[in-house]
Structures are given as C-alpha cells and as structure tokens.
Amino acid sequence: METPQQRLERETREVEQALRGLFAMQLDDGQLRQGVEQLGTRWAFPGLIALWGPGLYYRNRTVFRPFILARFPQVTFDTSGRPQSVFKGPSAELFEKWLQDVDRSGDVELFRRLYRLQLQDLSWAEGHKRWLADLQTRYGAASTRAQRQGVLNQFDLYFELDEPTAITLYTADSVVSRGFILEHLPGIRWIDFGRRSPWQKLSALARERGDEALAFDIYRRQVPEETWKRDVLALGDTLQEPGALVEALEQRHPAYWLRDAATPFLELARKRGRAVVPYLLRHIRNVRQPWGPFNRSFSQLVELAREREWLDLWSALMRTSAAPKTYNSEMLGLLQRSPLPEGEVRRRLLLLTGVGREANFPGLGLAQVQPLEDDTAVLLYERFPDLVRGPFLRHVSSGWSGTYPKLTARALALEDAPLVDFLASRVALQDLSYVYLKQPSPWTRVIEQLSAFYESLLQRSPDAFASRAANVLGKMPAFAIRDYGALVRSNRLARLFFERAHAHYAADARAIRDLLESPQIHVQALAFRVLARDDERARALAARNVDLLQATLLRPLHRKTRVMALGALRNAIRDEAAARQLAGHIRDAMDLPDRRYPKEVLLGLLADLLHRWPELRGPSEQPVVYGGAA
C-alpha cells in the first residue's frame, strides 16, 4: 500500500509527463484549457505551478487567469514531490518576472498570491519585517489616493501592523488607510498575558485630527481589561446624564471576550442604578457565572437585579449567564418560596424561557437553552402544566444534560399526549452505545416507560399508533442521528418507530405526509420504505404524495436513501397522472453528473413508466423493429 509520500511522488511524475505532453501538442486555447482542467483535478497538480502557471499566463492571460486563480497552490514542490519554493532554483527568474509583470498590470489578486508564495521562503518574523518594509516603500511612492488604495489592496495579507507603520499610513492619507489599519490592528490575545501595550501615539494623532471613531476603535481592541474597568467606573462617577453615560460606555466596551465582566457591571449598577441597565443588557453575553466560590460578583448582580425588580436584567442573566444549578435554584425559589401572587409568578417564569445564547454558521445554527432538572420540571408541571407543554418545552428536552424519568412518568399517568410525544421524540434519538450506563440508568428507565406505552398503543389501536408515532418522528430535528444502525440496535423506542412498526404507517395518509415533510432524513427514508411496499395502500399513497416524492429525483441524497425513494416512485407511476408529472423529472435526472447516482435503478424506473404508459414515450423512445431485407 502506498504511503502519502509515495502517492505524491507518483502523481507528481504522472502530472509532469501529462503536462509536458499537453504543451507539446498543437492545441488552441480552448483545447488546452479543457486539457488542463482535466489535469487540475489531480491532487498534485496545484503544487506544480512552476510547470504550468507562467506558461498559461503568458500564452493568454484572459483565458487562463481564472483557471490559475482557481488552482493556485498553498505550497509548492519540485517534480520529485519534495517541497520547493518557486522563487528559488530554476524557476526563480521566471517567477520574479511574472510577479513584476502582474504588478505592472494592476492584477491585485494574482499579485497577492504570488507575493505570499515569495514570503513563504522566509521565517514568520522575517516575512513580517519584509511585508512592513515593502508596504511602507510602495505606499510612500504612491502619489494619488487611488494608487495608495491599490497598494493597500495588494498588501492585504495576514500580517499585523506595528504602530510606526500605522502612523505612516494614517499620516499620508487618513481616509484610505483607516480601514486597512483596523483590519490589521493587533488585538488583545490570551497568549500575550497583558504584555502588549496599546497604541497611544496613533490614538492621540487621531484625536488631534478629530477622528474620535478611530481612537475608540483602537481603544476597544487593545485596552487591557483592568484599564477598561477603571475607566468605566470613573465614567460612572463623572457623567451624570444617563444617555451620555450609556453612549460613553458603549464607545469604550472592549471588542474581545472579557474574563470578568460581572465585577464592573455590578459596580456600575450599584452606582448608577437603572440608568446603566440598557448597556448591561446589550452586553449581557460577556457575563459568565464563575465556577469557583471566590468571585461572588455574578450572584450579587443577580440579587441586586431581583431586589430592585429589574426583571429584564434578572431574566437575561438567568437565561444567558447562569449555571444550570443556579437557574434551577431560581426556578425553585419562584415555585416554592415566592410570596408573589399566582399571576406574577407565571409572568416571571415566562421571562426565564427561551434561548440564552446562539451561534450561527453557514448551514448550521446552535442555540443554548437552560435545562430544567427533573424534580424542578415535575414541580413546574404540577403547578403550571400549560407552561411545560408550551414555553418551557425546549427546557425539558432530553440530551447531554440528562433525561426526565419522573416527568415522563407523570405525563404518562395524566395521558398528556403532546408532552409525551415530545419527550419520546427526544428520547428516541439517544444512541445508548455512546452513553456510559450506570445501574440503573435514567435513560433505560425512560426508554422502557415510553416503549411499553407505545407498544401497548400499537396492540390496542394500530391507527392511533400510526398517528402518534408520525407526530413523534416529525418532531425530530435535522442531523440529530449520528449512527442509525447503532441507534436502532441500542434504543428500543427507536427500533419500534423505525423498524418494527413501519408497515402500520400506511394506515394514516396524513401520517405519511408528515413523515415525508420531516427535517430528519432518516424519518423521510422511513416514509420511502413504507411507500415502496408491494400493496395497494402504498401505491395509492405514493401517487397522492408525488409532489413531495418528485423532489427526491434532483435533490442531494445518499445512494441508499435515493434507492428507497426510487422504490416509492415506482409505486407512484402506477397512477397515470403521477406518471405524467414524473416523466420529465426522471429524464432530467438522467443528465445529472453525480457519479454515485444509481442511474441503473433510475433507468429501470423510466423503462417501467414508458412500458406502462406508452403514450408518454418521446420520439427517441419508440420501439424500432428491424425486419429482414426484401
């Protein structure tokens, strides 16, 4: 078996030979572009830019520049697969010329990439020094604002500025350089341990020129936390007008994560009262309850907000910053020890619901919700059952924080279908092969409770089971199942819903549609399996849901899931109206470039459709019978 290095050496030799053969052929630009596009998919191709980059650029910059940028390497190596700088050795002179020509032509993007390759020959410190020197030289030689902006675009790399260079840029042109300075401004980092001093000279220069915005930007990114604490507490003493105080606090709030925001927040709240609450609420996510018992600022801030009835601040601290035990203690205080009227208790409980923190990424969102302990959840359910079924539902979601055997037992005893179905939708997602099982495990208790209930329902009324089970499966969130096989092996409730009872879902047409519209792909796959069954109910349901099934032809799916969906479509084409609706989509799917697409199954589906409904055949799909010569 090849090692990664052996594979690199082999691919390097193969790509080198293919490139030399390609350039030796008499090809026009279009044919050459097609050839290098095919070679560009090889793993070793980008690193061999010395063999193809300058040649393509000088042959036809317009045609090949997009390809060069798309395949531009992070590292380069020689034809033996060893790391080799293109600015050293035989290619050095050519790449120096290429860099100069690109610079003269004003191609900012390509210049930046070639310049970055040139700096890779140096250590980080040497490269940083070279970058600063080149930046100052080029910027000082620029005579117009447009030229200065072009220089900044060219040198917009990953390095940080130092203060003398930043002052040089700002002095020459404060308008053009401002954004570049802020983008490359050194900020507070944990590894600096407070040894990095903030830029005082540039801040003073900005204030002299009336550029308060830049001065405060530098302050927010570089001020040490202890200095900031002293400054904001001094503002609390000197600024009396509430609006001006909040504005000044906002201007100075650090742009990095604070170690201890609760202490200055507490002092500000004690000094200025309600006036600073808008500022505290805006930055409440900077506050974290400390783990140790020595810093009591957070608990004192909570007590102060509760005593003065700043309920917006109190509830925000509970939702976003409190530890789960503190949150549950506050809940118990309202439910057990509060002398407040029933309506006020309900109002304050509602203030404690909802998402505390969230993070959103492309295609992924994460939200933090404070989990209730089982005993707290039962107490809340006994007193305000509608709150548990409503706003607090996400706070009793089984997961990493644990599960709810007592609440589950109580909901089952009261036959609370909405709550039972929600709890089941979360418990059925738990893969017990990843859980350290103690004896007895709360997870196994809850799974046994719910499994016994739904199995009894299946025996008593299969139709009612289908409706309830579809409701449970429809509540499962997307991407919540890591390993389907391990889940159904280790979780009795999941095995019941996904494997043991799938034949019963066809009894409820609305349940099938709910399964098809689920965000969880394994639930959709269950619906595909049900609709692919060889019985009349499945064929009728497949035809009724053809609007949802047709999307599976063109949407991204794993091969096994798509085969299940094609099985459901095979049942749907028994209906003429469904077949007419699907014929064009099936033909379109045949042209998809996905190599993992089961085209043989799709071709069989199209053949079955055209055999069953001959009137849907196109001119090229008509049978041709060849006879003997006359």
Residue 313 lies in a domain: no
Backbone phi, psi, residue 557, to 5°: -145, 155
pLDDT tens-digit profile of 478-504?
889 989 999 999 999 999 999 998 889
Q: Measure the N-to-C terminal CA separation of the chain; round to a whole number of Å.
A: 62
Identify the band that residue 419 occupies on the pLDDT scale cut at 50, 70 and 90.
very high
Give the C-alpha separation, 320 to 284, whole Å.
Answer: 7
Give the C-alpha separation, 173 to 150, whole Å.
Answer: 13
Taking residues 561-570, what's their average pLDDT? 96
| Torsion angle (degrees, nearest 10) of CA 435, 439, 443, 449 | 150
Give the C-alpha separation, 77 to 93, whole Å.
Answer: 17
Residue 610 lies in a domain: yes
Residue 2 lies in a domain: yes
pLDDT tens-digit profile of 257-285?
888 999 999 999 999 999 999 999 999 99
Residue 207 lies in a domain: no
Residue 107 lies in a domain: yes
Q: Would you say residue 630 has pLDDT above 80?
A: no
Closest CA to 139 of 150, 128, 130: 150
Domain boundary among 65, 98, 121: 121
pLDDT tens-digit profile of 196-208?
678 999 999 999 9
Taking residues 409-435, what's their average pLDDT? 91
Grouping H, G, I as helix, E, B as strand and the rest as coil, residue 399 is strand
What does the chain come to in residues?
A: 630
Average pLDDT over all residues of the chain: 91
Percent of the chain whose predicted confidence (pLDDT) is above 90: 75
Closest CA to 160 of 197, 193, 132: 132
Domain extent, residue 102, equals 1-121
Beta-carbon contacts of 40 under 8 Å, excluding residues fewer than 6 positions away, are 46, 67, 70, 71
Residue 326 lies in a domain: no
Residue 83 lies in a domain: yes
Sort residue 364 into left (φ over 0), alpha (ψ -120 to 50) or beta: beta
Higher pLDDT, 454 or 620: 454
Q: What angle do CA 347, 350, 356 make, to 5 degrees?
A: 140
pLDDT tens-digit profile of 207-231?
999 999 999 999 999 999 999 999 9
Identify the band that residue 293 occupies on the pLDDT scale cut at 50, 70 and 90.
low
Domain boundary among 121, 138, 153: 121
Q: Would you say residue 440 has pLDDT above 60?
A: no
Taking residues 159-187, what's their average pLDDT? 94
Identify the band that residue 292 occupies on the pLDDT scale cut at 50, 70 and 90.
low
Percent of the chain whose predicted confidence (pLDDT) is above 70: 97
Residue 464 lies in a domain: no
Q: Would you say residue 507 has pLDDT above 90?
A: no
Identify the DSSP state of 393.
Answer: G
| pLDDT of res. 189 | 61
pLDDT tens-digit profile of 25-55?
888 999 999 999 998 888 889 999 999 999 9
Give the C-alpha separation, 414 to 430, whole Å.
Answer: 24
| pLDDT of res. 193 | 45
Residue at token pair 């990114």: 221
pLDDT tens-digit profile of 524-545?
999 999 999 999 999 999 999 9
Q: How many structural domains is the chain composed of?
A: 2
| pLDDT of res. 44 | 87
215: number of Cβ within 10 Å? 20
Taking residues 313-330, what's their average pLDDT? 94
Domain boundary among 97, 121, 145: 121
| pLDDT of res. 435 | 54
